[in-house]
Chain A
Amino acid sequence: MTNLLEINNLSVDFPSRRGQVSAVNKVSIAVAKGEVLGLVGESGAGKSTVGNSVINLLEPPGFISGGEIIFDGIRIDQLSNEEMRKIRGTKIGTIFQDPQTSLNPLMTIGKQLSETLIETLKISGASAREKSIELLESVGIPDPEPRLDSYPHQFSGGMRQRVVIALALSGDPDLIIADEPTTALDVSIQKQILDLIKSLCKQRNLAVIIVTHDIGVIAEIADRVAVMYNGQLVEQGKVAQVLQKPKHDYTKSLISAVPSGDQKLHRFTIVDYIDGSTEKVTLENVSDHWLSKNKPSNTHDIAVSVKNLSIEFSIRKALFRKNRLSLKAVDDVSIEIKTGESFGLVGESGSGKSTLARLIAGLYTPKSGDINIFGHNVLQKTEKTKTSLVRRKMQMIFQDPYSSLNSRMTVEDIVSEPIRFHRSTENQSETSIVVRDLISFVGMPRTSLRKYPHEFSGGQRQRISIARALASRPEILICDEPTSALDVSVQANILNLLKDLQEELSLTMLFISHDLPVIRQMCDRVAVMQNGRICEIAETDTLFDHPYHEYSKHLLGLMPRMDLFRL
């Protein structure tokens, strides 16, 4: 088979004040027509940079510092901007990660499609409209003609990604580069989109490069896979061979770090190949520490009890009631979380799981229903002081470690703020000792106290968020997708840390995730949510082995097949 695209010894450098940073170092890959090549690696591995250099859209100031890119027998890395523009769209199509942001929000999708068609195929407006309808049909958008006049926000996430794929295909390209095409989508939609890409690849005899961090995606769709680490290609080969018999140590540890949905292990496997990923957490003598003091022995068996909780959000305001529309985000939900247990909440985006967590945390006020925390009704307005005392026992860890830390405060200020606010130490010097201990409990060096959040990676920031949550000496920890923004290797570390802390401090944990394998490893009991309602509450092992509700079965069926690449 002759290769459509050949990349030989490609190097990409980013000049910076501290000298050149090599983002890609002598990478050689090739892809043929009708073949899907997976390019896998963690953030910062340089996999997206490889994709961007093929279409010559490197983020400035990056530049190709060595090697060659040969497309269809022509060397394209040295073409001028204008020559390259003619190749983009017509020869090489690109799909980006986030369908929310890939489309111009102010232009109808019909206009975006026909504009691209007129530019790439040099056809008239009328035939561009016909071709747009054809394209939308081919990517599986039902009844496409009236939808041409819709704006991107009128489509759901999965449909929007289909529109993006239609746009990428509009110039009838031979090669598609898909950069994390399903990362922003739900599992069920992820599968549909991957199937679509795969079938388009076969139908149109396309060459496809899928750039992803998700080994599940690779197992699902790719024919061959190339593994990148730190700008270098560590291994490539057939998917079955690489996933089942990885040669390189990095690939081995990366594969073993993917949480398993099949069986419950005591701890997550750490990617020990990466330097510094095994920051040792010292949790000795925690029971004598400040953290464990002042803890009333709770006689309540039930930490959190929620009864018939509902909340609505107004999605269209209007003067007259009949024109108003509202969405029942949480609809008559009742759950009980036992003291000391790990309670999981699983569901797709929009199922209301985060809203429920925020209701329990007191960030939203429910429309109806009751919330009891350690037997105290926190919605009662009469006992405000009691309520705030109870609320203090609950802390939350948010999904996005980038926006949940104040970027203008030092780590020391961030962690000590709750302590100072609650006046829970004797004096300033005790505060600083406690803060120092907290930061080392979460596995960070003490030197980080003087730094600001932007100096840390996503995983380190999540550790800081955990330290901040611990500073209030909580008894209940609410974790809202704490690792979904993180790489697999970092995820394993954070989840292990949470597990350790929970055991040492006997915390009650509400753990929210869309990721079933993670839920299986973390939780004692699980509730499955769909459209604001609870479908099923069960012991974790029972749910995974014998799901009762149809929707639970459906969700479990979408879980990536781990047996494909278990050793």
Chain B
Amino acid sequence: MVPLLLRGFMFYFIFNRLAQALLVMAVVSAISFSLFNFVGDPVNNMVGQDATREQRIEIRQQLGLDDPILVQYQRFMLNVVKGDFGLSYRIKQPVSQLILERLPATLELVFASAVIAVFIGIVLGVYTGIRRYSWVSKIIMSVSLIGVSLPTFIIGIGLIYLFAVYLRWLPSSGRAGVIELGGWKTSLLTVDGWRSIILPAVTLSLFQLTMILRLVRAEMLEVMRSDYIKFARARGLANRAIHFGHALRNTLVPVITIIGLNIGGLIAYSVITETVFQWPGTGLMFIQAVDFVDVPIMAAYLIFVALLFVVINLIVDILYFIVDPRIRRGGS
């Protein structure tokens, strides 16, 4: 009986969030559609200087640019739902195909840096939370300030100078050692691939890592002051059980929220990191598209990033249910 009702609330909750997600996607797609009308005249970019008036009119008709706005929007949305984002103005290839080709590179980079940020961030956060006054903690906290305050491209360039130019341990740019695995081009299975992903992944993760570290530390300090930790001590439990069994899990709800938002942030920041390291992902493609006012790619990229954010947030909301039994009750 109780689990059934419980599912009822979870169903309501997820339905609610899905409705919100749809709204977000509708707004974002409207914004990306408006790019077509506000970012210059695409015909000028597509034809040469000496194109005749007739040629221009013909291209306009081909692209359907003379139709009323609402008709264009409807057509755009129908195609988007089908996964068709049109042809790139510059490369003259389907945008969806271009994105899919580039996607593995970005996702692998984001995955690698998320793992670095979450793992190291939580471990160091717990350590500095428990050993608050040790000098190791103080050094970690001071160094972490650098992670928050330095911009990504400076860190990237610094790392390239140190490890690629000065020490010559790692490659400075590009994605090497790519092998094809059932339609997914991966670089995580070769030594060369690993060597090339380390620097961009570390660069990308550094900001998120320090955020997670500081958040986990603050939450740990808060939880360690709580009554149930004091009561656990008074029952004679060992420190390990108190720190990891009782304290860490209680810090997780806010930490999961931030990690979820930050993975979205990683994708957004990857534009910069991919540019610095010439990493052939979607972010680099987006920057190049901006240079050439390649509107279909820009619009598709916007929708794609928004979709990732929405999906990640949905996953985070479901994770709450798993971590905190109090939310399952559905109290306001």
- Tell me if A273 counts as interface (CB < 8 A to partner B): no
Q: List 4 A-B pairs, minimum CB-CB distance, nearest first.
A: A89-B236, A94-B234, A101-B227, A88-B236
Using A101-B227, A105-B250, A317-B12 as known contacts, say yes or no to A151 and B325 having CB atoms under 8 A apart: yes
Complex contacts, B235 vs chain A, CB 8 Å: 88-89, 93-94, 116, 119-120, 167-168, 170-171
Using A314-B332, A317-B330 as known contacts, say yes or no to A171 and B236 having CB atoms under 8 A apart: yes
- B325 touching A320, Cβ below 8 Å: no
Q: Which A residues from 532 to 558 make CB contacts under 8 A with B?
A: none
Complex contacts, A168 vs chain B, CB 8 Å: 234-235
Complex contacts, B11 vs chain A, CB 8 Å: 318-319
* Residue of A whose beta carbon sits closest to that of B233: A57
User: Which bucket holds chain A's interface residue count?
Assistant: 35 or more
Using A55-B234, A96-B231, A101-B226 as known contacts, say yes or no to A115 and B332 having CB atoms under 8 A apart: no
- B326 touching A105, Cβ below 8 Å: yes
Query: What per-residue 1/0 map shows which CB atoms of A148-176 lie under 8 Å from chain B?
Result: 00010110000000001001101100000
- A85 touching B238, Cβ below 8 Å: yes
- Tell me if A524 counts as interface (CB < 8 A to partner B): no
Complex contacts, A88 vs chain B, CB 8 Å: 233-236
* Segment among B170-178, B241-249, B265-273, B278-286 that sits at the interface with chain A: B241-249
* Residue of B whose beta carbon sits closest to that of A177: B234
Using A106-B324, A153-B325 as known contacts, say yes or no to A167 and B236 having CB atoms under 8 A apart: no
Q: Which B residues from 1 to 23 make CB contacts under 8 A with A?
A: 5, 8-9, 11-13, 15
- Tell me if B163 counts as interface (CB < 8 A to partner A): no
- Tell me if B179 counts as interface (CB < 8 A to partner A): no
Complex contacts, A106 vs chain B, CB 8 Å: 249-250, 323-325
- Tell me if A364 counts as interface (CB < 8 A to partner B): no
What 15 new A-B contacts, CB under 8 Å, besides A101-B226, A171-B236, A319-B8? A55-B234, A85-B233, A85-B238, A88-B235, A89-B237, A94-B235, A96-B227, A97-B227, A104-B228, A105-B250, A115-B245, A119-B235, A167-B235, A320-B8, A323-B12
- Tell me if A103 counts as interface (CB < 8 A to partner B): yes
Complex contacts, A221 vs chain B, CB 8 Å: none
| Complex Cα spacing A444 to B9, Å | 51
- Tell me if A316 counts as interface (CB < 8 A to partner B): yes
Complex contacts, A318 vs chain B, CB 8 Å: 8-9, 11-12, 330
Using A106-B324, A107-B246, A119-B241 as known contacts, say yes or no to A316 and B234 having CB atoms under 8 A apart: no
- B236 touching A315, Cβ below 8 Å: no
Distance in angstroms from B101 CB to nearest chain A CB is 41
Q: Which A residues from 306 to 327 make CB contacts under 8 A with B?
A: 313-320, 323
- Tell me if A90 counts as interface (CB < 8 A to partner B): yes
- Tell me if A98 counts as interface (CB < 8 A to partner B): yes
Distance in angstroms from A438 CB to nearest chain B CB is 37
When the two chains form the complex, which single residue of A57, A89, A323 contacts B5, counting CB atoms closer than 8 Å?
Answer: A323
| Complex Cα spacing A93 to B8, Å | 41
Query: What per-residue 1/0 map shows which CB atoms of A104-122 lie under 8 Å from chain B?
Result: 1111000000011001100
Distance in angstroms from A76 CB to nearest chain B CB is 13
| Complex Cα spacing A262 to B223, Å | 45
- Tell me if B90 counts as interface (CB < 8 A to partner A): no
- A313 touching B332, Cβ below 8 Å: yes
- Tell me if B131 counts as interface (CB < 8 A to partner A): no
Complex contacts, B168 vs chain A, CB 8 Å: none
- Tell me if B230 counts as interface (CB < 8 A to partner A): yes
- Tell me if B329 counts as interface (CB < 8 A to partner A): yes
- Tell me if A87 counts as interface (CB < 8 A to partner B): yes
- A167 touching B245, Cβ below 8 Å: no
Distance in angstroms from B247 CB to nearest chain A CB is 9
24 contacts between A and B (CB under 8 A): A85-B233, A87-B236, A88-B234, A94-B234, A94-B235, A97-B227, A102-B228, A104-B232, A104-B250, A106-B323, A106-B325, A107-B245, A119-B237, A151-B325, A171-B235, A313-B332, A316-B5, A316-B331, A317-B12, A317-B13, A318-B9, A319-B8, A319-B15, A323-B9
| Complex Cα spacing A89 to B331, Å | 34
Using A96-B230, A102-B228, A102-B231 as known contacts, say yes or no to A116 and B15 having CB atoms under 8 A apart: no
Measuring CB to CB, which residues of chain B are less than 8 angstroms from any residue of chain A? 5, 8-9, 11-13, 15, 226-228, 230-238, 241, 245-246, 249-250, 323-326, 329-332
When the two chains form the complex, which single residue of B234, B236, B330, B331 contacts A119, counting CB atoms closer than 8 Å?
Answer: B236
- B331 touching A315, Cβ below 8 Å: yes
Consensus secondary structure, chain B interface: helix
- A86 touching B236, Cβ below 8 Å: yes
* Residue of A whose beta carbon sits closest to that of B232: A104
Distance in angstroms from A313 CB to nearest chain B CB is 7
| Complex Cα spacing A85 to B235, Å | 8
- B236 touching A102, Cβ below 8 Å: no
- A119 touching B238, Cβ below 8 Å: yes
Distance in angstroms from A548 CB to nearest chain B CB is 36
* Residue of A whose beta carbon sits closest to that of B10: A318
| Complex Cα spacing A315 to B249, Å | 26
- A167 touching B231, Cβ below 8 Å: yes
| Complex Cα spacing A488 to B74, Å | 72
| Complex Cα spacing A314 to B330, Å | 9
When the two chains form the complex, which single residue of B8, B228, B325, B332 contacts A323, counting CB atoms closer than 8 Å?
Answer: B8
* Residue of B whose beta carbon sits closest to that of A170: B235
- B325 touching A104, Cβ below 8 Å: no
* Residue of B whose beta carbon sits closest to that of A164: B231
- A115 touching B8, Cβ below 8 Å: no
* Residue of B whose beta carbon sits closest to that of A167: B235
| Complex Cα spacing A323 to B236, Å | 43
Complex contacts, B241 vs chain A, CB 8 Å: 115, 119
When the two chains form the complex, which single residue of A89, A104, A151, A153 contacts B246, counting CB atoms closer than 8 Å?
Answer: A104
| Complex Cα spacing A93 to B237, Å | 12
- A57 touching B332, Cβ below 8 Å: no
Using A115-B245, A164-B231, A316-B5 as known contacts, say yes or no to A120 and B236 having CB atoms under 8 A apart: yes
| Complex Cα spacing A151 to B249, Å | 14
Using A87-B236, A115-B237, A116-B235 as known contacts, say yes or no to A316 and B329 having CB atoms under 8 A apart: yes
| Complex Cα spacing A316 to B9, Å | 7
- A101 touching B228, Cβ below 8 Å: yes
| Complex Cα spacing A404 to B52, Å | 75
- B228 touching A103, Cβ below 8 Å: yes
| Complex Cα spacing A86 to B238, Å | 9
- A57 touching B230, Cβ below 8 Å: yes
Complex contacts, A107 vs chain B, CB 8 Å: 245-246, 249
| Complex Cα spacing A168 to B230, Å | 12
* Residue of A whose beta carbon sits closest to that of B237: A119
Q: Which A residues from 288 to 319 make CB contacts under 8 A with B?
A: 313-319
Distance in angstroms from B95 CB to nearest chain A CB is 37
Complex contacts, A55 vs chain B, CB 8 Å: 234
| Complex Cα spacing A55 to B233, Å | 10
| Complex Cα spacing A134 to B190, Å | 58
Distance in angstroms from B187 CB to nearest chain A CB is 39
* Residue of A whose beta carbon sits closest to that of B323: A106
Q: Which A residues from 105 to 147 make CB contacts under 8 A with B?
A: 105-107, 115-116, 119-120
| Complex Cα spacing A115 to B241, Å | 9
Complex contacts, B5 vs chain A, CB 8 Å: 316, 323
Complex contacts, B228 vs chain A, CB 8 Å: 101-105
